[in-house]
């Protein structure tokens, strides 16, 4: 105790464990799969408030699908989902290593959170618009963006969809209905609501889905989104990815101590589903339910994806400074890839051998993609975008003052 530390009665939330401690998730209550009820989509919002405090689950401890939320989904689609998740994970691993070797300025993985994006993408229609944040690379993979295109963005090279302007991982893919990722947290959420309102305005039944981290829900934009979504009954799904951490701060600092993130919409009459985010089938089922609600003009839904950030925040982070090491191994909801794999094996639709060879295949695809991507240039080697791209797209047409500046820049 320092002598300048006064007596105080201010409450400061704390992470239950810190470096050196044994990981401890005993505070997390996991209800049985059967406890989850799946109400009709037109149920009045306040009659579903309990769902925000439960946990939508489909896979039980033996990896079997059961309960009311069990979705109808073909084995092939599940195998696709598994493949996408694996691809995301191996892609992440590869790119992370490349950053460590100095080939990339920055990288950010979604390890442990693959299902959150992949299952959602598979439950939505291709015309539905996605407003992600930076940890949903699974959406791109599931919607079929070639890995080489993702890599080109990370390299800011001549094939970069962003023309060298953004940090690695801040993808944009108009054709795939994937909105340009912002470096500023939370901004995409009211934008998604606006996109959804425009769809309704135009009288079509496309919907918008957006993702935001647990930490970022504290931004005003989240409130704007809830307000407008509620007032105009926008056909939108607001996904809160609660991976328990925001860089170094535990989710209690974001307000996770006194209520769930799924319940954040209750004050606006927006129902919330709290979902096991590492249960592929649960994410799929919850997304499908919310998408049906939205399409049926029954209003927006908040989905809290309860998951865990298995690794550091990004390549700039060192989680050993603020949380126990190997904590992911103790995470009670397991790993999404492993769980879906076991489920498929249990169904007789998959095998260890197939799994191994799939991993091999993806690994070589990733390497091949990177070899190709490098040919389009890297930050400091090979082909390079023209300097004029620095001045283009600030405006639709380059105004005089930027033309003059471009000329000056070209002159050196």
Partner 1 sequence: MAAMSMVQALNNAMDLALEKSPRTLIMGEDVGFFGGVFRCTEGLQQKYGAHRVIDTPIAEGGIVGVAIGMGVNGLRPIVEIQFADYFYPAMDQIVSELARLRYRSGGEFWAPLTIRMPCGGGIYGGQTHSQSPEALFAHVCGLKTVIPSTPYDAKGLLLASIDDDNPLIFLEPKRIYNGVFDGDRDKAATGWDQHPAGEVPENYYTLPIGKANIVRQGNDTTLITYGTMVHVAAAAVEKAGLDVEIIDIRTIVPLDIDTLTGSVQKTGRCVILHEATRTSGFGAEISAQIQEQCFWHLQAPIERVTGWDTPYPHLFEWDYFPGQSRVIQALQRVLEAG
DSSP labels for 208-225?
EEEEEETGGGGSHHHHHH
Asked if 218 and 138 touch (Cβ cutoff 8 Å), the reply is: no
What's the min distance (Å) between Cβ of 64 and a copy of itself?
32
Q: How far apart are CA 189 and CA 194, in angstroms?
A: 9
**Residues 239-258, interacting with ligand TPP (CB under 6 A):** 241, 243, 245-247
Tell me how far apart the alpha carbons of residues 120 and 116 are, in angstroms, rounded to a whole number.
6
The answer to whether the beta carbons of residues 271 and 51 sit under 8 Å apart is: yes
- SS3 percent helix, strand, coil of the chain, rounded to 5, is 45, 10, 50
Which stretches of the chain bind a copy of itself, using CB under 8 A?
Answer: 6-13, 45-46, 49, 53, 197, 200-203, 218-224, 227, 230-233, 252-255, 257-259, 261, 263-270, 272, 297, 299
Enumerate residues 333-372 that contact ligand TPP by CB under 6 A.
none
- 313 binding partner (options Mg ion, ligand TPP, a copy of itself, none; Cβ < 5 to 8 Å by kind): ligand TPP
Residue numbers 312-371 binding partner 1 by CB under 8 A: 316, 321-322
Looking at the Cβ atoms of 129 and 273, the one nearer to partner 1 is: 129
Q: Which residues, including other chains, have CB under 8 Å from residue 375's CB and lie 6 or more apart?
A: 382, 383
DSSP state of 129: E
Applying CB under 8 A, which of residues 17, 43, 64, 172 lies at the interface with partner 1? 172
**Site for ligand TPP, residues 171 to 190, rule: CB under 6 A:** 183-185
Closest C-alpha to 310, from 319, 301, 298: 319
Nearest distance from C-beta of residue 135 to Mg ion, angstroms? 8
The residues in 285-314 that bind ligand TPP, with binding defined as CB under 6 A, are: 309, 313
CB of 259 to a copy of itself, least distance (A): 4
Q: In the set 135, 143, 323, 341, which binds ligand TPP (CB under 6 A)?
A: 135
Region at 388 (left for phi over 0; alpha for psi -120 to 50; beta for the rest): alpha
By CB under 5 A, is residue 185 in contact with Mg ion? Answer: no
Binding site for Mg ion (CB under 5 A): 213-215, 243, 246
């Amino acid at each position: 105790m320092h002598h300048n530390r006064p007596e105080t009665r201010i409450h400061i939330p704390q992470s239950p464990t810190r470096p050196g401690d044994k990981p401890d998730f005993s505070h997390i209550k996991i209800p049985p799969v059967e406890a989850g009820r799946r109400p009709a989509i037109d149920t009045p919002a306040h009659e579903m408030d309990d769902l925000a405090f439960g946990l939508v689950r489909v896979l039980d401890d033996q990896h079997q699908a059961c309960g009311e939320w069990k979705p109808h989904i073909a084995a092939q689609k599940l195998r696709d989902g598994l493949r996408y998740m694996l691809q995301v994970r191996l892609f992440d691993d590869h790119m992370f290593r490349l950053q460590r070797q100095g080939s990339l300025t920055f990288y950010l993985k979604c390890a442990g959170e693959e299902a959150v994006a992949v299952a959602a993408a598979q439950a939505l229609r291709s015309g539905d618009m996605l407003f992600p944040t930076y940890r949903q690379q699974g959406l791109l993979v599931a919607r079929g963006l070639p890995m080489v295109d993702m890599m080109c963005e990370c390299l800011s090279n001549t094939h970069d969809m962003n023309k060298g302007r953004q940090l690695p991982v801040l993808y944009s893919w108009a054709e795939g209905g994937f909105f340009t990722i912002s470096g500023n947290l939370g901004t995409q959420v009211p934008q998604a609501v606006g996109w959804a309102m425009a769809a309704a305005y135009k009288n079509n039944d496309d919907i918008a889905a957006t993702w935001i981290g647990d930490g970022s829900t504290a931004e005003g934009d989240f409130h704007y989104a809830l307000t407008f979504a509620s007032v105009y009954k926008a056909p939108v799904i607001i996904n809160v990815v609660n991976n328990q951490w925001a860089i170094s701060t535990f989710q209690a600092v974001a307000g996770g101590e006194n209520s769930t993130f799924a319940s954040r919409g209750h004050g606006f009459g927006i129902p919330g589903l709290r979902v096991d985010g590492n249960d592929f089938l649960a994410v799929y089922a919850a997304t499908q339910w919310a998408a049906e609600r939205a399409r049926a003009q029954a209003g927006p839904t908040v989905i809290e994806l309860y998951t865990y950030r298995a690794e550091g925040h990004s390549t700039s982070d060192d989680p050993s400074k603020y949380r126990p090491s190997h904590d992911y191994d103790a995470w009670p909801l397991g790993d999404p890839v492993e769980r879906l794999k076991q489920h498929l094996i249990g169904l007789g639709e998959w095998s260890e051998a197939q799994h191994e060879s799939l991993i091999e295949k993806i690994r070589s695809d990733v390497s091949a993609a990177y070899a190709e991507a490098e040919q389009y240039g890297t930050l400091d080697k090979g082909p390079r975008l023209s300097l004029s791209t620095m001045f283009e797209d600030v405006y639709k047409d380059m105004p005089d003052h930027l033309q003059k500046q471009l000329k000056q820049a070209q002159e050196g």
